[in-house]
């Protein structure tokens, strides 16, 4: 195998090249995926488009092992969007448990309600209609259209962006936020055939999750190691802005999580005094509670009572 076509400064393939870079990547990555892909419930035919959508909401910033039990409980309780839409938003927050970033639960509930009202309870296949649903951005719309309906879309999550950054542009990490150049590169790498493009989207994502990981990458197991621009350049160290680390202990996120844990366990309104016990520092505790109310995750009631949102 030969090295990939050198990209232009903006990260896209050189259009004067005889072969676009994707042509050298598709078969080895897809063949690797056919052999090594994890058997995940949202990849099974019975998951359907709703199962794919639920998984995409849950997997944002959350590892697979934490998502699996919550996903299975969620689909058992709400096998169709209409089932979720018929419940109060607070029930979605309660069922979300400790997955983190619980606003995703409210967004998923809002999407389910819109699907029920606008599309007869069926997750739409049209990319524009998916994008018009509340709580769904470009990534989720492309992922559902690709993974559920086999369409040709560039699906750019953190894992895919890292694979493309290393294999094609020759850098260790992609930028902190997705750039226009990355989107152009992703579109340039898409196979023309729709079915192959959908398979490529899933395969490149799995490669980033299992092999081309953020730390301790396993180049000896990579199907495109011989073509990887970063590896061929002797793996130059990251020179961009510092990688953003995620802290939790002592942050407002931790306080919010503790407050929500109390409200999830309660099936009647909770007095302020009980919430005051979860965190000693009163200013931070009040700020966290106010933030939960502002985000629609907690509903204040007269008499200093609080509950998960009912409307």
Q: How far apart are CA 22 and CA 185, in angstroms?
A: 10
Nearest CA to 50 among 128, 125, 151, 118?
125
Catalytic residue among 18, 35, 46, 56: 56
Q: How far apart are CA 175 and CA 189, in angstroms?
A: 18
- Catalytic residue check, 265: no
Residue found by looking up tokens 């890292």 in the block = 162
Residue found by looking up tokens 């042509």 in the block = 23
Q: How far apart are CA 118 and CA 138, in angstroms?
A: 19
Who's near 18: CB < 8 A, 6+ residues apart?
none
The encoded tokens of residue 208 equal: 């980033």
- Residue 121, judged by CB atoms within 10 A of its CB (0-12, 13-18, 19+), counts as middle
Give catalytic residues, as residue numbers. Answer: 56
């Amino acid at each position: 195998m030969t090295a990939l076509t050198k990209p232009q400064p903006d990260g896209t393939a050189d259009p004067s090249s005889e072969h676009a870079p994707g042509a050298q990547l598709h078969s080895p990555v897809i063949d690797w995926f056919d052999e090594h892909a994890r058997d995940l419930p949202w990849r099974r035919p019975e998951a359907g488009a709703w199962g794919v959508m639920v998984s995409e909401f849950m997997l944002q910033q959350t590892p697979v092992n934490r998502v699996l039990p919550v996903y299975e409980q969620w689909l058992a309780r709400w096998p169709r969007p209409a089932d979720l839409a018929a419940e109060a938003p607070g029930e979605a927050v309660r069922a979300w448990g400790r997955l983190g970033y619980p606003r995703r639960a409210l967004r998923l509930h809002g999407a389910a309600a819109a699907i029920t009202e606008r599309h007869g309870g069926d997750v739409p296949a049209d990319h524009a209609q998916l994008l018009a649903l509340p709580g769904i951005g470009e990534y989720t719309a492309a992922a559902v259209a690709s993974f559920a309906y086999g369409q040709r879309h560039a699906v750019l999550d953190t894992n895919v962006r890292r694979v493309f950054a290393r294999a094609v542009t020759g850098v260790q990490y992609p930028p902190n936020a997705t750039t226009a150049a990355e989107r152009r590169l992703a579109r340039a790498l898409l196979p023309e055939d729709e079915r192959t493009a959908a398979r490529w989207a899933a395969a490149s994502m799995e490669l980033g999750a299992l092999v081309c990981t953020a730390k301790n990458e396993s180049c000896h197991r990579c199907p495109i190691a011989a073509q990887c621009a970063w590896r061929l350049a002797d793996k130059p160290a990251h020179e961009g802005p510092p990688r953003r680390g995620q802290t939790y202990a002592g942050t407002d996120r931790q306080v919010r999580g503790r407050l929500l844990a109390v409200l999830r366990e309660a099936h009647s309104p909770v007095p302020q005094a009980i919430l005051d016990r979860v965190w000693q520092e009163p200013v931070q505790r009040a700020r966290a509670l106010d933030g939960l109310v502002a985000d629609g995750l907690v509903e204040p009631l007269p008499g200093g009572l609080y509950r998960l949102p009912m409307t």
